Amino acid sequence: MTAAGRASRAGSSIGAVLSQLRPEFPDVTISKIRFLEAEGLVSPERTPSGYRRFTAADVARLRFVLAAQRDHYLPLKVIKEQLDRPGGPPEQVARPARGLIAVPALPEPVATVAPMSRDDLLDRARIPERVLAELEQYGLLAASADGAFDAEALAVATTASALADYGIEPRHLRAFRAAADREVALLEQVLAPVFRQRDPAARARADESADDLAALAITLHSLLVRTGLRRVTQK
């Protein structure tokens, strides 16, 4: 067997997978791939020395996950259900019916989309003007200086719309804003000294650390909420 054949059989390293995905998903990082592995979306084999080796099927799963998050803002639980159906990743992402909490659950910054107008945001998030005004009032999202909204604003609006199905209104979400601000302030203390360095390599390491910290913070927050709700449901 040739060296190329052995490499193909052994699979690709995480760096090689990143190179394959970057042209289509510029925002993907090694931290993101590791997070998706931790969440059970992909399960690469490990070499005896502990290195990840991704097969073509693993890469196909990653492409499906990233596209579902970028284009449809689906939560990882819904994406995993689609992936685990017989036959592997479907050709198209199935959008859940309204009311199934089709909301973003992303550990990293939301994938970039073109800036949108206020009307576009209302239409895509399927919320009334009143709700958007309240989300702005309580500091949950904001337009840019030229009045446009970005992908993260859309993700927040979509999430708020799904929470509204359960009777949770924008005014109730002020606690989330306050908690997020406290978490950011804590993580900023860790990152600020590194970001102040002028060395480009140091700043690159700081960017990667920010990704890791964001993923860890979101994972911990999710675990704490799930644990708390489990105590409620088991009473």
Residue range 169-189, pLDDT digits in tens: 999 999 999 998 998 899 888
Does residue 151 form part of some domain? yes
Domain range enclosing 186: 172-235
| 45 part of a folded domain | yes
What's phi and psi for 54, nearest 5 deg? -100, 130
Same domain, 235 and 194: yes
Shared domain check, 194 and 135: no
**Residue 50: inside a domain, yes or no?**
yes
Answer yes or no: do 151 and 178 share one domain: no
CB 17 within 8 A of CB 59: yes
How is residue 210 written in tokens?
């920010």
Rounded Cα–Cα distance for residues 171 and 67 (Å): 32
User: Cβ neighbours of residue 9 under 8 Å, at least 6 residues apart?
Assistant: 1
- Same domain for 186 and 122? no
The verdict on residue 127 lying in a domain is yes
Within-domain flag for 107: no
| 104 domain-assigned | no
Our count of domains for the chain comes to 3
Question: 188 and 164 in one domain?
Answer: no
Q: How far apart are CA 127 and CA 225, in angstroms?
A: 26
- DSSP character at residue 52: E
Report pLDDT digits (tens) over 95-148: 444 333 333 334 334 445 678 999 999 998 889 999 999 999 999 999 999 999
Q: What is the CATH number of the domain that holds 19?
A: 1.10.1660.10
The pLDDT of 37-47, averaged and rounded, is 90
pLDDT score of 100: 36
| In a shared domain, residues 179 and 139 | no
Res 135: pLDDT: 95
Q: Are residues 69 and 124 in the same domain?
A: no
Residue 5: partners with Cβ closer than 8 Å, 6 or more residues away: none
